[in-house]
Amino acid sequence: MSPAPHDPAAPAGAAGRVEVGVIGGVGPAATVCFLDLVVRHTAADRDQDHVDLVVLQHASIPDRTAYILGRSDEDPGPVMAADARRLERLGVGFVVVPCNTAHHFTDEVAAAVDVPVLSIVDETADEVAARPGTARVGVLATSGTLAARVYQRALEARGLEPVVPDDADQDVVMGIIYDQVKAGRPADVAALHAVADRLGARGADVVVLGCTELSVVAAEHDLLADARYVDSLDVLARRTVERAGYPLR
């Protein structure tokens, strides 16, 4: 959707544009990365050309993977649903959650509000499905995301075959996500590439970075220069810009 020509006197929300509600903090660095990507992907010449967002950096939302795997009885779903209601009261046009594992709770969040909830998983799966010649898709994600089969179901629904790491490689991925990125330590990019290489050896045509902590690594180390990677957070940022009524850069 292309906005109308600029009118310096036009109020916020003019030309079909809407504010975006962001349930953030899951994790904090990934939310900051998402906001940076939204700015970078917006074709803007001045401050007023950028997307209006209302961001809840709610870092104390219970751990999604721990709950899905039964290691915690703290349910993130009601917390995120309450955040969505809070954002709706503030007048946002739709809600995004820059976290893949949180997709497990999307139905609960969506049921709590009347505004749409844009799915990072569905948008990423659509992007992958549109790539010519793609049949098998590697998925790098938290163990919670894989256990909930959120990407597996989304990919299979589009006629694609998911390929997930074996147990040893999944331990490597979880170490990068939790012990490195979430802990504020440097990521072992070589180890991440090695896991992706092994998925490729098993037939993966592309590899989805299906955890937003891995998106942080992608942004810091320019992983998208390697055409085999599809970054879910980058996809969500571009779709957010478009859905809000702004042109992409």
Q: In the prediction, which pLDDT does 204 show?
A: 98
Catalytic residue among 22, 37, 53, 99: 99
Catalytic residue among 80, 211, 216, 244: 211
Q: In the prediction, which pLDDT does 98 show?
A: 94
Phi-psi category of residue 131: left, alpha or beta, with phi > 0 → left and psi -120 to 50 → alpha: beta
Q: In the prediction, which pLDDT does 65 show?
A: 86
Is 211 labeled as catalytic in the residue annotation?
yes
- What is the distance between the alpha carbons of residues 21 and 24, in angstroms, rounded to a whole number? 9
Tokens for 229?
């990677």
Q: In the prediction, which pLDDT does 185 show?
A: 96
Question: DSSP for 231-249?
Answer: EHHHHHHHHHHHHTT--B-
Give the pLDDT means over successive 10-residue stretches in the chain (249 positions): 33 71 92 96 97 96 90 94 97 95 90 96 96 96 92 97 98 97 95 98 97 93 96 97 97
Is 33 labeled as catalytic in the residue annotation?
no
